[in-house]
């Protein structure tokens, strides 16, 4: 007896398309603000391009404060790491910016971001111009952020409010000058030492190459030796001289983990080194304020330039010299017609204008 096969009356279940995974919320990208010593903003843009932190065709805005320059940039490359920067004193995300009026919507947006920050936040306000009062703005922002659940502290991550005339920029700091690679090696600072960011600007002008030799005839605490290494870790021997034994003691502490570096107590105008053995000279020439006397500068500069010419390894030799005593520098250069010099930048150091010169052979 054949078994009867019945057809199923059940309809097949309709095919259901797989549900796509939920889209991740796109992380908001903020403009950035970088701050540097007054006079270095243009050079800092070149550093950003060198480090590939700035998109091609980007047009940053330069903002000038009394004691600092700012760079405001809307488009930063996604892989940008602001901690690579050596010329910037600090940098960070610009949470809100505008002019004349700070709206509740702006404050809400800033508070939404700041509530995600786990560490304490410290607000600092700088104001140039007549439109906003610094103390009023500090009280206003503290109150408004607190009402939105953001509590500020006396110590913590920096939250900067930069105000220039009618424009304002609220910046959460994500990088500062001591984050730059190799700066953690510095242990002590000597009074009147060259700020590392300005030393970095000088190193950037020098364009150090692998295996080159560098000399600083008045090295102080070793800032320029360290900054050359920070920009070009494969540089050859870097040597510093200073007449002050205490300065050399500090320099050796700061340079102890840089294998190419050496520092000696001695006269930088009489180094005793062989002729034609130095590729690069860098110096923050004495101004005659913290150390020495200004009336001694012409003779000192003349002797330093003479020694520099003797040591120069031609034809690629160059010197990067910083001074606020321009007449003494030009007097020293007059004795060497084979040299030429160009002003690389002007910067204010502790309120005093100083000029940096790039010196080469003609």
Domain ranges (residues) in the chain? 32-178, 181-361
Token couple for 320: 């990067």
Residue with tokens 């600090």: 90
Residue 249: count of CB within 10 angstroms of its CB: 16
Q: CA 138 to CA 143: how far, in whole Å?
A: 9
Question: Which residues contact residue 355 at a Cβ distance below 8 angstroms, ignoring those fewer than 6 apart?
Answer: 322, 323, 324, 326, 329, 343, 345, 346
Spatial contact of 35 and 69, defined as CB atoms under 8 Å apart: yes
Q: What is the pLDDT of residue 282?
A: 98
Question: Which residues contact residue 243 at a Cβ distance below 8 angstroms, ignoring those fewer than 6 apart?
Answer: 265, 266, 267, 268
Mean pLDDT, consecutive 10-residue stretches, the chain (362 aa), reads 46 49 57 95 94 85 94 74 92 94 95 94 94 93 95 94 95 92 85 92 98 97 96 97 95 95 96 97 78 80 97 96 95 95 94 94 96
Token couple for 12: 């097949």
Q: CA 2 to CA 312: how far, in whole Å?
A: 110
Burial of residue 310, with CB atoms counted within 10 A of its CB: 0-12 exposed, 13-18 middle, 19 or more buried: middle
Name the superfamily (CATH) of residues 181-361: Vaccinia Virus protein VP39 (3.40.50.150)
Q: What is the pLDDT of residue 78?
A: 55
- Does this model's pTM top 0.75? My answer is yes
Q: Does domain 32-178 have CATH number 3.30.160.110?
A: no
Q: CA 317 to CA 214: how far, in whole Å?
A: 10
DSSP secondary structure code for residue 346 in this structure: E
Q: Which of 257, 263, 183 is nearest to 220 (CA)?
A: 263
Do 32-178 and 181-361 agree at the fold level? no
Token couple for 33: 């603000």
Q: What is the pLDDT of residue 350?
A: 83
């Amino acid at each position: 007896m054949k078994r009867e096969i019945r057809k199923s009356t059940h309809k097949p279940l309709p095919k259901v398309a797989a549900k796509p995974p939920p889209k991740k919320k796109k992380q908001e990208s903020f403009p950035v603000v970088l701050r540097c010593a007054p006079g270095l903003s243009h050079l800092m843009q070149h550093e950003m391009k060198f480090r590939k932190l700035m998109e091609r065709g980007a047009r940053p805005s330069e903002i000038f404060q009394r004691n600092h320059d700012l760079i405001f940039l809307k488009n930063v490359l996604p892989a940008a790491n602001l901690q690579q920067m050596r010329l910037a004193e600090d940098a960070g995300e610009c949470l809100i910016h505008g002019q004349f009026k700070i709206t509740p919507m702006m404050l809400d947006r800033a508070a939404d971001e700041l509530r995600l920050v786990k560490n304490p936040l410290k607000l600092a306000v700088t104001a140039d111009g007549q439109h906003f009062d610094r103390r009023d703005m500090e009280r206003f922002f503290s109150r408004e952020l607190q009402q939105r659940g953001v509590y500020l502290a006396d110590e913590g991550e920096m939250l900067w409010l930069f105000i220039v005339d009618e424009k304002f920029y609220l910046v959460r700091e994500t990088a500062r000058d001591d984050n730059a690679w190799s700066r953690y090696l510095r242990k002590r600072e000597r009074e009147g030492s060259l700020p590392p960011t300005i030393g970095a600007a000088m190193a950037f002008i020098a364009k150090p190459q692998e295996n080159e030799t560098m000399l600083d005839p008045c090295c102080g605490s070793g800032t320029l030796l360290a900054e050359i290494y920070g920009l070009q870790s494969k540089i050859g021997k870097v040597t510093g001289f200073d007449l002050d034994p205490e300065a050399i003691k500090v320099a050796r502490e700061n340079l102890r983990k840089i294998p190419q570096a050496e520092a000696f107590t001695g006269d930088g105008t009489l180094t005793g080194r062989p002729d034609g053995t130095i590729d690069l000279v860098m110096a923050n020439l004495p101004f005659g304020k913290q150390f020495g006397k200004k009336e001694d500068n012409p003779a000192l500069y003349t002797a330093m330039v003479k020694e520099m010419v003797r040591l120069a390894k031609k034809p690629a030799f160059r010197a990067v010299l910083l001074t606020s005593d321009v007449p003494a520098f030009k007097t020293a250069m007059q004795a060497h017609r084979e040299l030429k010099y160009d002003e690389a930048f002007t910067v204010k150091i502790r309120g005093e204008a100083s000029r940096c010169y790039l010196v080469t052979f003609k």
